[in-house]
Structure 1
Amino acid sequence: MSDAEGLRPVQLPANQPERFYRGGAAIAALRGDTPPMAFGPEDWVASCTTFHGEQATGLTTLPGGDLLRDAVAAHPANWLGDAHVAAFGADTALLVKLLDAGQRLPVHCHPSDAFARAHYGSRHGKTEAWIIVGAAAEAAVHIGFAEEQDADTVADWVARQDAAAMLGALNPVTVRPGDAVFVPAGVPHAIGAGVFIVELQQPTDLSVTLEWRNFLDDEAGGHLGIGFETALRCVDRQGWAGRLDELVRRDESPAAVTELFGQPEFFRAERLRSGATLAASFGVLVVLDGAGVLRTEKAGEVPLRKGATFALPHAAGESTLDGDVVAVRCLPPTP
């Protein structure tokens, strides 16, 4: 049986293309078998998505040498299930990353589906969410403008590259492991240094980087070639200070299965502990702690250990989780 057929869970090696910002030590520490990288802050897990404008960078290669993207295209029903294929075709509709912010990320946002179709020729925009895995003392994320901003003010900040004004206009939120943060398309944000996350997102690499200086090579990288006059139309300029509870969730439930995001039109995520029973689905499994066994209906038992990541095919059937283990299962949108 080939891993490419989508009949059994496949354990994945690290997939850390070089990025423009520092990080990677927390990924190496979690995995335990990956050397730290100075500029490897993102591990693209079970990725069928490439860097914006590139042909292959970012794609996951299965242990047998096949690209996961090609394997899914060849066996879509096995990997994704008939209902998903009917809704989305041979498209996983999901990108998962481990992201270790070795420095503060720039202030940026992502386009909606409609904006991405109109201006970037993309089926998907980039709504995303973060599950906090590790956080240094007082580490924070910055999300959404605290007060509503007018378009001219935001355009002026970007034109002058006033990083202090842009960051200062956002809501700082101190985070701790276990927190979950939902980031709708358009909402400006920046992840602070010392924050380590499992990130779910729609499967694109589309970012409008308002704070591009000292991060990207040039201004064009900030707007991805469409000009800031157009790109800034995707920015959510409303104030979020009084309703951050819509974006930030703190839940320390010891339940076997805890739903982390109620956003089935974009993606789903579950925190799993021993005794979890899982319906058949394509998914990405990240083992955060401990060791255990995933017992699948049609593909036998799969040993789990801290730091391991898996692509889970629909064809493996229902499964149960046993052992002293904590994991996150990331799922595509509901068909």
Structure 2
Amino acid sequence: MSLTLLPANTPRSFYRGSGRIHRFRGIAAPDDPYYPEDWVGSTTSRFGQAPAGLTVLPDGGLLADAIAARPQWWLGAAHVAAYGADPAILVKLLDAGQRLPLHVHPDRRFAGDHLSSPYGKSEAWVIVEARPDAVVHLGFARDVPAARLAGWVAEQRIDEMLAATNRVPVRAGDAVVCPAGLPHAIGEGVFLVEVQEPTDFSVLLEWAGFTDGPEAGHLGLGYELALSCVDRQAWAPDRLAGLGGTRPGGRTGVRRLFPDLADPFFAAERLRPDPVSELEPSFSVVVVTGGAGTLEAEHERPLPVRAGDTVLVPYGAGRGTLRGQVEAVRCKPGGSVHI
């Protein structure tokens, strides 16, 4: 098994989707709207809900088990030396059928000290679709004292919290990094590809109106400790601007997404063949966002792909190309091994 078309992997969540994932994939949507995420190529479980979230391969086995059995083939020797048999990323499709609650993810230091994890949850978004007035809330626009934040959360003064955030318009094609610690909420009407550190750590600043209540929002740490992971400093417009953008990819038909602050955590590329997109060997997830074409690898048979497909690519597939009238986003691990 090498280049692998993955079916949808949609663990139930606490906020609503709008059916975009299922329309994108060309599959029937469930009557229940609480399936707004597709965890693609995942070796990460829902926090406290294992095995929910784990990818099952077409042969019925778990991806995590397959990687553990052949880590160098899946990940490459340099990656295994640095991270072991751990892909070190999680990729999702996310469909915001309602505004997500304002929340925050801990960084690596907090996760190491309090959650026994080498990973926090820095993440980044590649916007696939967005309604004309779509926004994300990203960081506080002014410094927020710890006592004020604790009061807002305890009393669920949501309007005050949201008013203190930066409202950032987004549109299809945007690429935005959300560093660990930064309060954020994705607005209604946004459909995106998310690449992140491989955890499910979230601290909810808001829960009123959502199915998860305060007992699920502090990672079992209590809110006094959990809120200490929040970046309460002001993020001015020029600083926010540094969270977006693209860079030359260094290979034909490839453009790197996100500024260099994302590099220690993950990487993503926009693939637009010219006439091909050249892919170096790497464990990666390819999300086909438009058109149709062919994904080729030096050690594998060509794989026809179309919009809505998600493809798991192991390091052992070798060098590859994407051909055709097609666009895709390729997500892969970060760190000095890959960047």
TM class by shorter chain equals: over 0.9
Q: What letter corresponds to residue 158 of structure 2 in structure 1?
A: A
Aligned to 1:245: 241
Deviations 1:65-88 (A, max 9, x none): 010011011110110000000000
Aligned to 2:286: 285
Counterpart check, 1:259 vs 2:259: no
Aligned to 1:32: 26
Aligned to 1:272: 271
Aligned to 1:298: 299
Q: 1:198 and 1:317, CA in 2 relative to 1: closer, same or farther beyond 3 A?
A: same
Structure 1 residue 215 displacement after superposition: 1.7
Aligned to 1:193: 188
Identity %: 53
Q: 1:68 and 1:23, CA in 2 relative to 1: closer, same or farther beyond 3 A?
A: same
Deviations 1:254-280 (A, max 9, x none): x71110023221000000011111100
Query: Is the deviation greater in 119-128 or in 56-65?
Result: 119-128
Distance 1:213 1:223 in 2: 15
Aligned to 2:315: 314
Q: What letter corresponds to residue 264 of structure 1 in structure 2?
A: D
Aligned to 1:45: 40
Q: What letter corresponds to residue 85 of structure 2 in structure 1?
A: A
1:182–1:248 Cα contact (<8 Å) kept: yes
Q: What letter corresponds to residue 320 of structure 2 in structure 1?
A: S
Structure 1 residue 213 displacement after superposition: 2.4
Deviations 1:216-238 (A, max 9, x none): 44322111211111001100011
Deviations 1:293-322 (A, max 9, x none): 112111121111110001100000000111
Q: Secondary structure at the match of 2:217?
A: helix
Distance 2:214 2:49 in 1: 19
Deviations 1:149-188 (A, max 9, x none): 1111111101111111111111001110000110000000
Q: 1:40 and 1:203, CA in 2 relative to 1: closer, same or farther beyond 3 A?
A: same
Q: What letter corresponds to residue 317 of structure 2 in structure 1?
A: A
Structure 1 residue 252 displacement after superposition: 12
Structure 1 unaligned spans of 5+: none
Distance 1:236 1:115 in 2: 12
Select which of 10, 31, 45 maps to 1:16: 10
Deviations 1:182-204 (A, max 9, x none): 00000000000000000000000
Aligned to 2:99: 104
Structure 1 residue 135 displacement after superposition: 0.3
Structure 1 residue 241 displacement after superposition: 2.4
Q: Secondary structure at the match of 1:258?
A: strand
Structure 1 residue 249 displacement after superposition: 2.8
Counterpart check, 1:161 vs 2:162: no
What is the 5 A alignment of 1:33-182? Answer: 33-36=27-30, 38-182=33-177
1:216–1:222 Cα contact (<8 Å) kept: no
Please give the TM-score of this superposition, normalised by the length of structure 2.
Answer: 0.94
What is the 5 A alignment of 1:198-237? Answer: 198-237=193-232
Distance 2:246 2:172 in 1: 9
Distance 1:9 1:292 in 2: 14
The two structures, once aligned, show a CA RMSD in angstroms of 1.6
Q: What letter corresponds to residue 35 of structure 2 in structure 1?
A: G
Counterpart check, 1:327 vs 2:328: yes
Distance 1:290 1:333 in 2: 27
Q: 1:331 and 1:217, CA in 2 relative to 1: closer, same or farther beyond 3 A?
A: closer
Deviations 1:21-49 (A, max 9, x none): 11051111211134255111000000000
